[in-house]
Structure 1
Amino acid sequence: MITIQKAVITDADKLTEIMKNTFDEEARRWILNQEISDYNIQPPGYSSVEMTKYMIEELVYYKIIYNKDIVGGIIVTITGKSFGRIDRIFVDPDYQGRKIGSRVIELIEKEFPTVRTWDLETSSRQVNNHHFYEKMGYRTNFKTEDEYCYTKRKESSSDIENLIENKDISNTQYENCNMEKTECYQVNLEGSSFSNSNLMNTHISNCNLSHSKFQNINFKHSFYADLNLSYSKIRLVTLGGVHFIDTNLGDDKEPLSFERCDLQGTKISNSNLRNLQITDSDITGMTIDNIPVEKLLEVYYQELKK
């Protein structure tokens, strides 16, 4: 008996353990040179319980049940009502070969019957995945030396009301238009501009926004997760109440830089602060492991005078 159920936080440890075992086994099978990083085989955070908790809370995460045991998971992103993306699917190596994956794909499609287009990505190295997804009705729409991208369309365009497809509407201007609940998929918006517009509750996922510019925007109560902001510049930004969790400096370890910033009451805990530099700053009340920094500096300067 194969079923799927929404994952809950108490499942995080178990699901992380299974995910790690699954993807590590895939790496042993397909990555002959262990110095190679393949993020489709070992995706970022795949062994992190905190990443699993984030995905349970913020994405659509189902645990896979075989008889009464949790044997894997499937994580999807649903955009609007018509578009879905399978972010990850994994089955415990001890349970593979029992047609669990194919049944789970069928179950997730039944769970979201309005989704007519499904996307996913897999490593170019995982030849078995290529055969599996093609058997499930997916077709390659893009591939590189490292990655294969697949799409599955469930119904014809003629069945969709108000669908505009394969049209060149570049250089078009829209003014005073009601575009509420508009859905865009595989749309080229490069160089587009949005001004004086209401974009509340907009959902943007799996999009390339590199070199974009956001100015004079109200982002209150917005949520940002699983983003690459390397080399970005944030200027004249109000950050009151902002919370950074499980954030790092990327592969290049380029340091953050704060200049002329008011960081009163800021709390940094359980973080890697090696080579952190603080200069020309007001450190009144600042503590490290509950020890006042002012007292530490006072002792230090006293020692220098001896």
Structure 2
Amino acid sequence: MMITIEKAIMADAERLTEIMKRTFDEEARRWLKDQDMRDYNIQPPGYSSVEMTKYMIEELHYFKILYNKELVGGIIVTTTGRSFGRIDRIYIDPDYQGRRIGSRVIELIEQEFPAIRTWDLETSSKQVNNHRFYEKMGYETTFETEDEYCYIKRKGHSLTENQDISHAQYEHRQMAQSEFYQVNLEGSSFSNSNLMNTHISNCNLSHSTFQNLNFTHSLYADLNLSQSKMRFVTLAGVSFLDMNLGEKNEPLSFERCNLQGTKIHDCNLQNLAITDSDLTGMTINDIPVEKLLDAYHREVQKK
């Protein structure tokens, strides 16, 4: 028996997605009594999407799991700074489970990132076999609800751990390369500061305000921006890929926007409404919209 991990490549995307979908669907069948119920810790968003897999291969640490050189699963990791790591997803083909593959893969990932001293992950509260597995691997629960369990595994401790420095003020401080993990910054303010190359992941930024900021060449991925508002934003060269309108299918609203030269491709535009807009040069499937409207108005006049 030989269990190894290798960095996934784009050519692996379809096969990895196929295995992940089969694995998580089987988990849902096993643990969800109500099959119409959705548990995002069992069937995470985009788990059946090849495009989501491609994104994770390109932007995250995505490793394929090989059992005697045969592809049988994957593990996806996010690292923040030098010391913090998160296991976003791990899955083993149902036909290969029960062979100690998962425990060996956890060991291999820790060897792959020896500088990481704090690992965390989440799992569904319903998957009790996962609870036993992670505890066996040295993880401890940090948060429990009726929906999910959060786990952490520490290797050593920080000198600044568990200190309360609320209401402190910092000015003209050099804090480059600092790392923050499980820190409560609610209500904090950052102004006139250099935050270039900052990496923010798995954080709650709801009800936050971002004003007068330079976000050029930034990446925004795997985000929930529901009910957000954007005003006076320059979007030159921005790409929107694999977007959706959430579970409630709430529509987007564009007002007083300059969208000249915009391209919309392979999108669901059902019930999309465009009013009081300049459609000069706009085409749908290479057909000029102006000609379509002219033809429509001629037909109306005939009636």
- Taking only aligned residues, the RMSD between alpha carbons, in angstroms, comes to 0.6
Take 2:67 and 2:222, find their aligned partners in 1: how far apart are those partners?
30
SS at match of 2:150: strand
TM-score scaled by structure 2? 0.98
Take 1:43 and 1:304, find their aligned partners in 2: how far apart are those partners?
49
- Aligned counterpart, 2:40: 39
User: Which residue of 231, 234, 240 maps to 2:236?
Assistant: 240
1:174-185 → structure 2 map (5 Å cutoff): 174-185=170-181
Amino acid paired to 1:286 = M
Matched, 1:262 2:263: no
1:1-306 → structure 2 map (5 Å cutoff): 1-155=2-156, 157=157, 163-306=159-302
CA displacement at 1:165 relative to structure 2: 1.2
Take 1:100 and 1:206, find their aligned partners in 2: how far apart are those partners?
27
CA displacement at 1:228 relative to structure 2: 0.2
Amino acid paired to 1:72 = G
Equivalent pairs counted in the alignment come to 301
Q: Which runs of 5+ in 1 are unaligned?
A: none
CA displacement at 1:227 relative to structure 2: 0.1
Which string of whole-angstrom CA distances, capped at 9 and with x for unpartnered residues, describes residues 124-151 of structure 1?
1101000000000001110111100000
Runs of 4+ in 1 over 3 A off after TM superposition: none
Amino acid paired to 2:226 = S
Amino acid paired to 1:154 = K
SS at match of 2:38: coil
CA displacement at 1:288 relative to structure 2: 0.5
Take 1:302 and 1:81, find their aligned partners in 2: how far apart are those partners?
66
CA displacement at 1:305 relative to structure 2: 0.9
Amino acid paired to 1:35 = D
Take 1:164 and 1:253, find their aligned partners in 2: how far apart are those partners?
44
CA displacement at 1:4 relative to structure 2: 0.5
Which string of whole-angstrom CA distances, capped at 9 and with x for unpartnered residues, describes residues 236-278 of structure 1?
0000000000000001111001101000000001101011010
Amino acid paired to 1:14 = R
Take 1:176 and 1:278, find their aligned partners in 2: how far apart are those partners?
49
SS at match of 2:151: strand
SS at match of 2:192: coil
Amino acid paired to 2:256 = R
CA displacement at 1:83 relative to structure 2: 0.5
SS at match of 1:150: strand
User: Which deviates more, 146-155 or 98-107?
Assistant: 146-155
Take 1:57 and 1:176, find their aligned partners in 2: how far apart are those partners?
36
Take 2:298 and 2:218, find their aligned partners in 1: how far apart are those partners?
48
SS at match of 1:169: coil
SS at match of 2:103: helix
Take 1:19 and 1:303, find their aligned partners in 2: how far apart are those partners?
52
CA displacement at 1:168 relative to structure 2: 0.9
Amino acid paired to 2:141 = T
